[in-house]
Amino acid sequence: MLYQSVGMSASDGRLFEVDVIVLDEVHYLSDISRGTVWEETVIYCPKEVQLICLSATVANPDELAGWIGQIHGKTELVTSSKRPVPLTWHFSKKFALLPLLDGMGKKMNRKLRMSHVQNISSPKSEFYYVKGKRKVRPNRNEQGNRSPLDISKQVQLSKHEVTNMRRSQVPLIRETLSQLWENNMLPAIWFIFSRRGCDAAVEYIEDCRLLHDCEASEVELELRRFRMQYPDAVRENAVKGLLRGVAAHHAGCLPLWKSFIEELFQRGLVKVVFATETLAAGINMPARTAVISSLSKRIDAGRQLLTPNNLFQMAGRAGRRGIDTVGHSVLVQTTNEGPEECCDVIFAGLEPLVSQFTASYGMVLNLLAGSKVTHKQKESGDVKGKRSGRTLEEARKLVEQSFGNYVGSNVMVAAKEELERIQKEIQHLSSEITDEFIDRKCRKELSEEDYAEISLLQNKLKTVPLINAQLFVSMY
């Protein structure tokens, strides 16, 4: 797109009869692999075409609106911090589904501390845990009173012990699903960060019956119709789970099958969809509950913790407008993350958009060379092509229009203004700190004896240059 000049005239067959371009989920501008394309779209959008940019996870909307206004024209920023359906956070452990936050929503629920969890799960255990520490249970007498000679000992938990403790609290998928069923929190979108994991989860719970008989019959009827129309698009290994109200949704499914799953889910005929994080954006599949199976995902370099933007994007699928009075977001205990880590990400706040537009030698060469544009002559019907390269000055202006350059320029301007303010303040203070000012300050804060002694020393210092000058003159 960058090298093909999207914003060329309509006579070249570009954006003909287009009035509005909608960039939904514009926060993808920060995406490492796709962000450049989003910036190019804004840069090359003709000024006569209206841009509408939508997102629920942008921490710096003022900068984004300012950048679009600078390169595209007058821009209006419309923001809202109120959710149509309030969101409640939960935490799923092996033995309970508990609120993640306290009643005020300002800190972690104290019932999720390690001591409480250990007491609930192992009331007769030799040890009980207090946030990273291990205390030996004190001995008690026959009446149940603590022995006066017994003193609790604290032993620092090792990393291995913490991991083992967390591993003992990791719930099975069936257990978390049972918690959702008992608390009337279905339908749910269950985020798992791998296609294989989504398919395995469906197979694991495909024997769980989540549909009533009439609902199962309706799914079977819809599946029969779909099979007749698109026989090659049916995922045969997913049919059993689908008839029980469970399905997978990821890039490994054919688009027709994914659309079929989305339709059934919207009609309430699928109760649980196991999906990758791509479902968190751009697809109209709101649910009562969003389950995040892990706070980190595996990448080539190891494990990567979810950013607040990623987490809120997935959690935002919870709560159906006009249907639910509250949406539920459930975070699940893993061996690597517990409620403390979940709260850290939630309270960290959204991250600002960051430009991924990077200039390189190859990009400059492609800009100068341009792409080949073909034209068909009306008279002869011949097709001729020409290069649509840019000059070096045009290429430079293109790079200067990037979001990163705009933010960087604003930072430099703000830093320069702050530097000038500090310099003026220093000059103002320097003009005030005179000998008379110091003398008044000393007279006010020192005793008469101390002030007299300092005055005497100052007078002696003033005579030193005069004596040195007289000695210099006498020598010559």
Q: Quick check: helix, strand or coil at residue 365? A: helix
| Residue 392: predicted pLDDT | 76
Both tokens assigned to 389: 């390269």
The answer to whether residues 322 and 468 belong to one domain is no
Residue 427 belongs to a domain: no
Q: What percent of the chain has pLDDT over 90?
A: 33
Final residue belonging to a domain, choices 305, 324, 348: 348
Residue of 275, 243, 244, 272 lying closest to 258 (CA atoms): 275
pLDDT per residue over 292-347, tens digit each? Answer: 999 988 777 778 888 898 899 899 889 988 889 999 999 999 988 889 999 999 99
pLDDT at residue 430 tops 90:
no
The answer to whether residues 329 and 444 belong to one domain is no
Confidence of residue 120 (pLDDT cuts 50, 70, 90): very low
Residue 231 belongs to a domain: yes
d(CA 367, CA 1): 11
Give the mean pLDDT of 82-87.
89
Residue 267 belongs to a domain: yes
| Residue 381: predicted pLDDT | 55
The answer to whether residues 317 and 460 belong to one domain is no
pLDDT per residue over 89-108, tens digit each? Answer: 999 998 889 999 988 888 99
Q: 445: domain range?
A: 435-475
Q: Which residue has the tokens 């003159």?
A: 473
Both tokens assigned to 406: 């705009």
| Residue 175: predicted pLDDT | 94
Q: Quick check: helix, strand or coil at residue 280? A: helix
| Residue 395: predicted pLDDT | 74
The answer to whether residues 324 and 209 belong to one domain is yes
Q: Count of CB atoms within 10 A of residue 339's CB?
A: 22
Final residue belonging to a domain, choices 348, 373, 392: 348
Residue 120 belongs to a domain: no
The answer to whether residues 344 and 468 belong to one domain is no
Asked if residue 187 has a cis previous peptide bond (ω within 30° of 0), the answer is yes
The answer to whether residues 320 and 454 belong to one domain is no
Residue 389 belongs to a domain: no
d(CA 171, CA 424): 62
d(CA 422, CA 472): 43
pLDDT at residue 394 tops 80:
no
The answer to whether residues 343 and 440 belong to one domain is no
- Give the rounded distance of the alpha carbon of 182 from its chain centre: 30
The answer to whether residues 440 and 337 belong to one domain is no
**Model pTM score:** 0.70
365 Cβ contact partners less than 8 Å away, ≥ 6 residues apart: none
The answer to whether residues 295 and 441 belong to one domain is no
The answer to whether residues 340 and 461 belong to one domain is no
The answer to whether residues 321 and 191 belong to one domain is yes
Both tokens assigned to 54: 């939508």
Residue 45 belongs to a domain: no
Q: What is the number of structural domains in the chain?
A: 2
Confidence of residue 48 (pLDDT cuts 50, 70, 90): confident
Q: What percent of the chain has pLDDT over 70?
A: 76
pLDDT per residue over 261-300, tens digit each? Answer: 999 999 999 999 999 887 766 577 889 999 999 998 877 7
What CATH number does the domain containing 251 carry?
3.40.50.300
* Pair 373, 388: CB distance under 8 Å: yes
d(CA 458, CA 435): 11
Kindly report the CA angle at 452 between 449 and 456, in degrees rounded to 5?
A: 140
pLDDT at residue 373 tops 80:
no
Final residue belonging to a domain, choices 348, 370, 393: 348
The answer to whether residues 187 and 332 belong to one domain is yes
Query: What is the pairing mode between strands 296-299 and 302-305?
Result: antiparallel
d(CA 95, CA 467): 90
pLDDT at residue 133 tops 50:
no
Q: What is the DSSP letter of 279?
A: G
Give the mean pLDDT of 41-61.
88
Residue 452 belongs to a domain: yes
pLDDT at residue 147 tops 70:
no
Give the mean pLDDT of 397-413.
78
* Pair 26, 57: CB distance under 8 Å: no
Residue 282 belongs to a domain: yes
49 Cβ contact partners less than 8 Å away, ≥ 6 residues apart: 15, 18, 19, 20, 21
